[in-house]
């Protein structure tokens, strides 16, 4: 194994920086105590971080009980650098220019557009060009861009995109050749999990379940996404609920998402009530009108989901499961129902809750990915 003073110093820099972010406001003396680094090292590292404008002084603290000089307090400089975050949906591209701490400066969304191999690069370029007009003066400028893909991604390579034809282009190479900053491609549900981890949760292990036409999950432990060898970790939508059940396009029969996704829910309500164009708003209206048929279907759907959560929890033992769903968001009683269903001695400690970030989760996860890389901090938390 090769080590050098350089890598050790870099590591200590990251440790100090992380502690300053975690503590929000802290003195050099406290940093030395928390990190077990000597005061001279802390002094040298904080000097360098100050020069790079990654941290700043914010005032004078109280003297210790033994008296002596009052300490200068340090804080993370949330305005030192910028990141770009993009979400490539099936018929939209949403882009955000953000400070490194997840404070959005500008958001642009192009809707009802055709996403394919010919158009995607143009759409991305246009959105970046429009966002760049809002770029404020910062020390480091844009330090990374992360692009959310609705499909399987392995090491920045798009492997499989069932909802749009993007699995035959070298998007990472194209973007890396066009821009100076580091580029990352990542699955959308994984980024949603990373966003919740960094910006909404104090917990160290988290599963985020995104429910829409299908069901996907992202798994984060100590800031690290669990992608699996082929990028397919967390694809619980395709875990089998009923052997020999409904045919799924993936090749299995009886997959969870054929029973517990929004598509499954909407189809069943449309068939039962003989109506069209069901959406989460309509379902909420039926629910408030106390429509018994819809309520039964909702509970059945949630019951299937709770089996999926049970199975996922017994594999990963997360502290918290975050549900990202427009239906669960509008009918929070369904979350109570999920929690009541998780009664086994293996899953009863798991907390299920609605996503605090909702539609921002994926873009905030994209911010996290670039920020983790630039700051060299994996276990990054920005929680006020």
Chain centroid, CA 79 distance in Å: 21
Q: Per CB under 5 A, which region of 53-61, 65-73, 215-223, 236-244 contacts Zn ion?
A: 236-244
Q: How far is the CB of 238 from Zn ion (least distance, A)?
A: 4
Q: How far is the CB of 253 from Zn ion (least distance, A)?
A: 8
> What is the per-residue burial (b if ≥16 Cβ within 10 Å, else e) of 138-172?
beeebbbbbbbbbbbbbebebeebeebebbebebb
Q: Return d(Cα 136, Cα 105) in angstroms, integer.
A: 9
- Which 3 state secondary structure label does DSSP give 74? strand
**Which residues in the 132-151 window bind Zn ion by CB under 5 A?**
none
Q: How far is the CB of 301 from Zn ion (least distance, A)?
A: 17
Q: How far is the CB of 25 from Zn ion (least distance, A)?
A: 49
Q: Per CB under 5 A, which region of 9-17, 101-109, 193-201, 245-253 contacts Zn ion?
A: 245-253
Q: Per CB under 5 A, which region of 65-73, 122-130, 252-260, 293-301 contacts Zn ion?
A: 252-260
Q: How far is the CB of 272 from Zn ion (least distance, A)?
A: 24
Asked if 248 is part of the footprint of Zn ion (rule: CB under 5 A), the reply reads yes
- Nearer residue to Zn ion within complex by CB, 135 or 252: 252
Asked if 255 is part of the footprint of Zn ion (rule: CB under 5 A), the reply reads yes
- Nearer residue to Zn ion within complex by CB, 255 or 269: 255
- Nearer residue to Zn ion within complex by CB, 147 or 255: 255
| C-alpha dist (Å) from residue 343 to 242, 321, 340, 351 | 21, 15, 7, 11
- Nearer residue to Zn ion within complex by CB, 248 or 353: 248
Non-local (6+) Cβ contacts of 204 within 8 A are 221, 222, 319, 379
Q: Is 301 left (phi over 0), alpha (psi -120 to 50) or beta?
A: alpha
Q: Return d(Cα 259, Cα 265) in angstroms, integer.
A: 7
- Nearer residue to Zn ion within complex by CB, 68 or 251: 251
The binder of Zn ion chosen from 75, 107, 205, 252 (CB under 5 A): 252
Asked if 240 is part of the footprint of Zn ion (rule: CB under 5 A), the reply reads no
- Nearer residue to Zn ion within complex by CB, 108 or 240: 240
- Nearer residue to Zn ion within complex by CB, 76 or 304: 304
Q: How far is the CB of 150 from Zn ion (least distance, A)?
A: 16
Q: How far is the CB of 308 from Zn ion (least distance, A)?
A: 12
- C-beta of residue 148 within 8 angstroms of C-beta of residue 87: yes
Q: How far is the CB of 227 from Zn ion (least distance, A)?
A: 19
- C-beta of residue 259 within 8 angstroms of C-beta of residue 301: yes
- Nearer residue to Zn ion within complex by CB, 143 or 255: 255
> What is the per-residue burial (b if ≥16 Cβ within 10 Å, else e) of 240-273?
ebeeeeeebeeebebbbbbbbbbebbbebbeeee
Angle at 223 between CA 362 and CA 241, to 5 degrees: 65
Which residues of this protein are in contact with Zn ion, per CB under 5 A? 238, 248, 250, 252, 255
């Amino acid at each position: 194994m090769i080590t050098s003073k350089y890598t050790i110093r870099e590591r200590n820099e990251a440790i100090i920086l992380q502690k300053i972010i975690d503590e929000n406001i802290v003195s050099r003396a406290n940093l030395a105590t928390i990190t077990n680094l000597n005061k001279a090292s802390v002094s040298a590292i904080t000097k360098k971080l100050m020069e790079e404008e990654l941290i700043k002084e914010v005032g004078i603290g109280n003297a210790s009980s033994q008296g002596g000089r009052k300490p200068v307090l340090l804080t993370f400089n949330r305005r030192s650098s910028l990141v770009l975050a993009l979400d490539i949906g099936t018929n939209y591209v949403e882009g955000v220019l953000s400070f490194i701490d997840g404070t959005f400066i500008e958001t642009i969304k192009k809707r009802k557009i055709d996403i394919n191999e010919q158009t995607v690069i143009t759409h991305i370029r246009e959105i970046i060009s429009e966002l760049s007009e809002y770029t404020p003066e910062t020390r480091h400028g844009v330090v990374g861009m992360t692009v959310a893909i609705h499909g399987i991604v392995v090491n920045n390579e798009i492997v499989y995109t069932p909802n749009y034809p993007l699995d035959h282009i070298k998007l990472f190479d194209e973007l890396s050749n066009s821009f100076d900053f580091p580029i990352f491609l990542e699955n959308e549900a994984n980024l949603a999990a990373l966003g919740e981890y960094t910006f909404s949760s104090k917990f160290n292990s988290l599963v985020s379940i995104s429910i829409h036409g299908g069901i996907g999950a992202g798994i984060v432990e100590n800031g690290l996404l669990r992608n699996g060898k082929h990028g397919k970790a967390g694809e619980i939508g395709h875990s089998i609920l009923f052997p020999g059940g409904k045919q799924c396009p993936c090749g299995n029969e009886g997959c969870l998402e054929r029973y517990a996704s929004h598509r499954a829910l909407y189809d069943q309500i449309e068939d039962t009530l003989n109506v069209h164009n069901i959406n989460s708003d309509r379902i909420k209206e039926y629910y408030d009108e106390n429509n018994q048929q819809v309520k039964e279907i909702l509970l059945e759907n949630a019951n299937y989901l709770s089996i999926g959560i049970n199975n996922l929890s017994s594999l990963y033992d997360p502290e918290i499961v975050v549900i990202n769903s427009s239906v669960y968001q509008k009918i929070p009683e369904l979350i109570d129902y999920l929690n009541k269903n998780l009664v086994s001695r293996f899953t009863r400690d798991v907390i299920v809750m609605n996503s605090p970030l909702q539609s921002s989760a994926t873009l905030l996860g994209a911010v996290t990915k670039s920020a983790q890389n630039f700051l060299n901090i994996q276990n990054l938390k920005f929680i006020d």
